[in-house]
Structure 1
Amino acid sequence: MMHDFDELRVPEGADPDWRHHMTEIWVQRALEYQDHGIDLLLTGQSPLREVLAVCLVDVGDEVRRARLAERDPVRWDAPAVDAFLSWASWHRKHALDPLSPARRHHRQQLARDGLAPPDQVAHR
């Protein structure tokens, strides 16, 4: 079964709390599928650290650029495609090393959102 994270509609002003809630909904749906022997491929843009287990399925930027142009050339103008490719690059780097000092701000977000295990949260 294949689904896109955003197919359930993204509300105006969606924030990290909304994304976390939707991630939980998709995890529950994946578990239901698993109970019935169905595999789930979920596409989306949520940071990998926000889900239990993931596999990054990726394509090269030129392939992605071509697919977006075919999908909807009005919505995917050059600045929108460039932003999307930047997000894809972030995911590639994050998948390789989610705790890299170069991405230290992601760890801070993790702690701020209350997602880090208690033993990984520093207190002043």
Structure 2
Amino acid sequence: MLLSLSGASGAGKSTALEALRAVDLPERVECVEFDSIGVPPGADTAWRHSAVEYWVRRAVAAQASATHLVLCGQIPLGELLAAPSADRLDGMSVLVLHCSPEVRRSRLRGRGEPEDSLVHHVRFGDWFYRHTLDPTHEPGVIRVDSATPMRWDRWETWQKDDSRWSARLLDTDSLDPDQVARQVESWVREALSREATGPSAT
């Protein structure tokens, strides 16, 4: 099963993932950072397509040893569903962390992000949130030409509130890192419990 802990920069993903690594979970779970494969200079959306497919294949391979993969990164739901190998997953669960523009700016400044980059992070964060809610929201942001044969046809006709377009959203504005970590742990445990009783796609 692939569990995607997603969201734009500054939402709290990496901190939550580190806490999750220290948790004793009931099943075999591998926690990985999307960017751990190395991000080349000039990496763009087309590169991300190939990276998403790489990680989906890793999750498929992990299934053979009854291992679940928690993948932490900026992975739009539409890209994950369109990854060529996504239909080989025995389950998928998506949690998107989100924060307001003001909180995102504050967190990214605290991390030392250049001031002139903040507007881009905020814009992408807003798009990411709206895309998670509605597959028809500006799909052209991710539907670009790439060497990876993305399967956009899997969801290109879906509308807002289609049950197949499924992700949980967690607003982290008023939560401290420990609270976010506990919510993420709860999501993982719930997803694993559902998977134990049947295929999951939430």
Q: Which residue of 1 aligns with 2:108?
A: 68
- 1:58-77 Cα shifts (integer Å, max 9, x gaps): 1323554454344x31xx13
Quick one: higher RCO (CA 8 Å, sep 6+), 1 or 2? 2
Identity, in percent, stands at 33
* Structure 1: runs of 5+ lacking an equivalent: none
- 1:61-115 Cα shifts (integer Å, max 9, x gaps): 3554454344x31xx1333233222212111100101114xx26358x36x6663
- 1:21-44 Cα shifts (integer Å, max 9, x gaps): 211110011123333333322222
TM-score by length of 2: 0.45
Alpha carbons of 1:116 and 1:3: their partners in 2 closer, same or farther (altered >3 Å)?
Answer: same
Tell me, in whole angstroms, the C-alpha distance in 1 between the residues paired with 2:66 and 2:103.
32
Choose which of 121, 130, 145 in structure 2 pairs with 1:84. 121
Tell me, in whole angstroms, the C-alpha distance in 2 between the residues paired with 1:81 and 1:55.
25
Amino acid aligned to 2:135: P
Kindly indicate whether residue 73 of structure 2 is the aligned counterpart of residue 44 of structure 1: yes
Structure holding more helix per residue: 1
Aligned residue pairs total: 113
Q: Which residue of 1 aligns with 2:135?
A: 98
Kindly indicate whether residue 50 of structure 2 is the aligned counterpart of residue 21 of structure 1: yes
Amino acid aligned to 2:108: L
* Structure 2: runs of 5+ lacking an equivalent: 1-29, 82-91, 158-202
Alpha carbons of 1:38 and 1:12: their partners in 2 closer, same or farther (altered >3 Å)?
Answer: same
Q: CA RMSD in A?
A: 3.1
Q: Which residue of 1 aligns with 2:94?
A: 55
Tell me, in whole angstroms, the C-alpha distance in 1 between the residues paired with 2:70 and 2:106.
22
- Which stretch shifts more, 53-62 or 43-52? 53-62
Structure holding more strand per residue: 2
Partner SS for 1:89: helix
